[in-house]
Amino acid sequence: MSKKKIAVLASGRGTNLQSIIDGVKSGQINNAAIELVISDKKEAYALERAGNNGIEALWIDPGAFPGHAEYNNALLQEMHKREIDLVVLAGYMRILSEGFVKAYKDAIINIHPSLIPAFCGKGYYGERVHMEVLEYGAKVTGATVHFVDEGTDTGPIILQKAVEVDREDTVQSLAKRVLEVEHTLLPLAVDLYCRDRLRIQGRRVDIETE
């Protein structure tokens, strides 16, 4: 089985990217090679993480393109050049175009810091998710890894794990515990994909036994 070629899109610190890098290095993620990291932010630390680990890193400036579709087409060109098999969104703060999603149907994975379908959708990213969880008085939140479709946080769910909300939690303390879960779930989902163990049946994702 040839290794799956992975591209990671990230906008910020890249801690979830690091969890994938570490997973590949340790053997937790099998049959995989990270070929490319792209950011829409020139100063994103994710790019430095990639460079520190010998991974090609690109900043592609959205402002250099006339519109959303053109920018996404530029991303696609970079994917096609490297024959990328799987695209992972690791703290990527832009919505992918319909054309991009269609080109990589069932081959884009995203991590979201809540238990979808709660606290997700348009505008729900970063600290806002945890703020809404606390303001709503939810007792449980968590993290979700899902396939990306044409909607926002609406694709089939691969993995989820719950995190209890403490009465004393702040946005920062809750975000920290959820992020720890993300760092566990995302490498696991990438490994399952790269070992061809995921089967999509409608909205359900089944994990095949080895």
Task: List the structure tokens of 36.
Answer: 């490319």
Tokens 């995989």 belong to residue:
32
Task: Give the C-alpha separation, 124 to 119, whole Å.
Answer: 7
* Chain position carrying tokens 């990438």: 190
Cβ atoms of residues 141 and 165 within 8 Å: yes
Q: Label residue 111 exposed, middle or buried (CB < 10 Å: 0-12, 13-18, 19+).
A: buried
CA distance 55 to 57: 6
The residues with which 115 forms a beta bridge, in sequence order, are none
Strands 108-112, 140-147: pairing kind: antiparallel
d(CA 48, CA 10): 11
Whether 112 sits among the annotated catalytic residues: the reply is yes
Other C-beta atoms closer than 10 Å to the C-beta of 167 total 5
**Which entry of 112, 130, 146, 183 is annotated as an active-site residue?**
112
Q: Which residues are catalytic?
A: 112
